[in-house]
Amino acid sequence: MSLPETVTIVEVGPRDGLQGEPGFVPTNEKLELIERLSETGLKRIEITSFVRPRTIPQLKDSEELATRLRRKPGIIYSALVPNFKGLERAMQAGIGEIALFVSASETHNQKNVRMSVGESLNGFRRIAEAAVSHGIRMRGYVVTAFGCEYEGRVPPDKVEAIVGEYRGMGVHEVSLGDTTGMANPVMVDELVRQMLPVMGETGLALHFHDTRGTGLANALAALQAGAHIFDCSVGGLGGCPYPSISTGNIATEDLVGMLHEMGIETGIDLDRLIDCARYAKSIIKRDLPGHLMDAGRICWKGMGQCGQE
Ligand code: COA
Ligand code: ZN
């Protein structure tokens, strides 16, 4: 199998995960979750969104969260920004990396941000100019990069056109989102091979939701096609509010556990990560789909609990 030696994990649970929760998680608990995640060896955490609070009330505390967070040196704490107002708020709150987002499906973009794809991209050009001049790094999401439940299969060329726009703006990394869990390993292989020459392996991330149970299979297909960067959410928290059928990303601890068993380094302490997943479950007060919270990681000695020897 052709596989990379190391993989970078971008933890998106505090944003992508919590934005889809029916209730508001108190700021103190969000901060505790992010600070615990910061002790696992993760180097990148997406902490919140500077979107309209009325649209996503779950993240209405983004200013307070970003300003109160005790940042650990060496970790990039990023936040989602939909428009210029979002950029201004993010800058005020001391955010060093923003994530722009636009859907590859017109209908989805219209429902998500009330703009056409072209309007979103036009807005991003102004954001990018300001961000670049302030030394703020930019990542760009292509939402519904594989399929959309309103428009069906999304043509890879539509994705490539958006990726090209992002590149032109100075976005350092593009994340291809399977927002509704419609991708399969063959589609993933094809899209990764098409986008790698455009962004390079350090500029291409994959963002899988496990809505139909294909998340880890898709991650494996992306790895084999040459991808090195994966977004996941601790415990498998979350989903995008549009559409409501969307469920969480692949669980960070499940992907990290699988990668470690395959001999791929992530720099993450799996036992600490599993503890974070259990903490995430305790604050949202419902079961989460992550497997390792219950199963634990594999103990090859066959006896006792790994992590407690
Ligand atoms: N932060 C806070 N408030 C914002 C804002 C932002 N980034 N952008 C706009 N607003 C406010 C405006 O100031 C205005 O306020 P007012 O009524 O008090 O004057 C109001 O929202 C309406 O502004 P408008 O530009 O018409 O926005 P809209 O209602 O068309 O909403 C978005 C557009 C993009 C702001 C909104 O759809 C949104 O936040 N979407 C995010 C969706 C999301 O996060 N999805 C999950 C990620 S995949
Ligand atoms: Zn997502």
pLDDT for the residue 307? 58
Answer whether residue 309 is part of any domain: no
pLDDT for the residue 137? 98
Answer whether residue 304 is part of any domain: no
Answer whether residue 302 is part of any domain: no
Answer whether residue 58 is part of any domain: yes
pLDDT for the residue 306? 65
pLDDT for the residue 200? 96
Atom 35 of ligand 1, residue of closest alpha carbon: 52
Q: List pocket residues of ligand 1, CB cut-off 6 Å.
A: 19, 49-52, 55-56, 82-83, 85-86, 89, 101, 112-114, 143, 240
- Please tell me the distance from the alpha carbon of residue 36 to that of residue 278, in angstroms, as a whole number: 11
Residue 174 contacts residue 205 (beta carbons within 8 Å): yes
- In this structure, how many other beta carbons lie within 10 angstroms of the beta carbon of residue 60? 18
For ligand 1, mutation pick of 15, 46, 52 (most atoms within 8 Å of CB) = 52
* Residues with catalytic function: 240
Residue 13 contacts residue 233 (beta carbons within 8 Å): yes
Answer whether residue 118 is part of any domain: yes
Q: Which domain CATH number covers 126?
A: 3.20.20.70
Point out the ligand 1 atom lying closest to the alpha carbon of residue 179. 48
pLDDT for the residue 305? 60
Point out the ligand 1 atom lying closest to the alpha carbon of residue 113. 37
pLDDT for the residue 196? 98
Q: What are the CA-CA distances from residue 195 to residues 21, 139, 164, 204, 208 (Å)?
A: 32, 15, 10, 8, 16
Which has the closest alpha carbon to 39: 271, 260, 262? 271
Atom 10 of ligand 1, residue of closest alpha carbon: 52
* Ligand 2: centre distance to CA 306 (Å): 31
Answer whether residue 300 is part of any domain: no
Point out the ligand 1 atom lying closest to the alpha carbon of residue 49. 44
Residue 49 makes CB contacts below 8 A (sequence gap 6+) with: 15, 19, 56, 59, 62, 79, 80, 81, 82, 86
Point out the ligand 1 atom lying closest to the alpha carbon of residue 177. 48
Q: What are the CA-CA distances from residue 148 to residues 14, 23, 181 (Å)?
A: 24, 26, 9
pTM given for the model: 0.96
The distance in angstroms from the start CA to the end CA of the chain is: 32
| Ligand number with the minimum distance to the CA of 249 | 2
pLDDT for the residue 74? 98
pLDDT for the residue 238? 85
Three-state SS for 76? Answer: strand
pLDDT for the residue 296? 92
Three-state SS for 161? Answer: helix
For ligand 1, mutation pick of 51, 242, 244 (most atoms within 8 Å of CB) = 51
Atom 47 of ligand 1, residue of closest alpha carbon: 240
From first to last of the 309 residues of the chain, give the pLDDT tens digit. 889 999 999 999 999 999 988 889 999 999 999 999 999 999 999 999 999 999 999 999 999 999 999 999 999 999 999 999 999 999 999 999 999 999 999 999 999 999 999 999 999 999 999 999 999 999 999 999 999 989 999 999 999 999 999 999 999 999 999 999 999 999 999 999 999 999 999 999 999 999 999 999 999 999 999 999 999 999 999 854 455 566 899 999 999 999 999 999 999 999 999 999 999 999 998 889 999 999 999 988 876 566 554
Answer whether residue 306 is part of any domain: no
Q: Which domain holds residue 267?
A: 8-295
Answer whether residue 305 is part of any domain: no
Query: What is the number of structural domains in the chain?
Result: 1
